């Protein structure tokens, strides 16, 4: 399931509620990989006090679904939940949740990484940061995930 939402959410409650509701998972999954991306209060050496996340309604969902379907083709996985925030966000807010359920850990780990990395390079979301002095700037590009 894919959800684009504009309100703050509790990722742990979402995982629990979704898993409970997916009866087909019962007894089948041996691995659940949970990735949570959270907003920092710094970027590129500057304090960041807030962000606005813009997206392209329609294309965002379409591309995200294609990423999940590609993961389902490549790995033996049982279910996927992706939730992404849009609108105004603040430090410590959860921006993205990627959960993969599979029979064994390999697929859960690998598919989560694939979904997250592909989301970062292909799915139309854009971040505009508001700095401590109220100046704002668009994030030009995503990094490789290590700094």
Partner 1 sequence: MTVSIKVRYFASLKELLGRSEDMLEFEQVLSVADVWRQATEAKVMPDNTLAALNMEYVDLACIVADGDEVAFFPPVTGG
By CB under 8 A, name the binding residues for partner 1.
37, 53-56, 58-59, 62-63, 84, 95-96, 116, 119-128, 138-142
Q: What angle do CA 138, 132, 86 make, to 5 degrees?
A: 45
Q: Nearer Cβ to partner 1, position 18 or 125? A: 125
Q: How far is the CB of 27 from partner 1 (least distance, A)?
A: 32
Q: How far is the CB of 25 from partner 1 (least distance, A)?
A: 25
Angle between helices 59-74 and 105-122 (to 10 degrees): 150
Q: How far is the CB of 20 from partner 1 (least distance, A)?
A: 26
Q: How far is the CB of 29 from partner 1 (least distance, A)?
A: 24
Q: Nearer Cβ to partner 1, position 49 or 122? A: 122
- Say if residues 52 and 115 touch (Cβ distance below 8 Å): no
Q: Nearer Cβ to partner 1, position 78 or 123? A: 123
Report the C-alpha gap between 63 and 134 in whole angstroms.
32
- Say if residues 11 and 81 touch (Cβ distance below 8 Å): no
Please report which residue ranges of the chain form alpha helices under DSSP H: 11-21, 59-74, 105-122
Q: Nearer Cβ to partner 1, position 31 or 65? A: 65
């Amino acid at each position: 399931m894919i959800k684009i939402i504009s309100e703050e959410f509790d990722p742990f409650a979402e995982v629990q509620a979704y898993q409970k509701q997916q009866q087909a998972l019962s007894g089948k999954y041996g691995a659940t990989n949970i990735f949570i991306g959270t907003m920092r209060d710094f970027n590129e050496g500057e304090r960041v006090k807030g962000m606005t996340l813009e997206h392209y309604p329609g294309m965002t969902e379409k591309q995200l679904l294609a990423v999940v379907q590609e993961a389902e083709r490549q790995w033996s996985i049982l279910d996927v939940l992706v939730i992404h925030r849009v609108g105004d966000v603040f430090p410590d807010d959860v921006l993205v949740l990627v959960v993969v359920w599979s029979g064994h850990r390999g697929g859960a780990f690998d598919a989560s990484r694939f979904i997250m990395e592909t989301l970062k390079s292909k799915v139309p979301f854009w971040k505009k940061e508001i700095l401590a002095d109220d100046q704002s700037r668009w994030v030009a590009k995503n990094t490789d995930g290590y700094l």
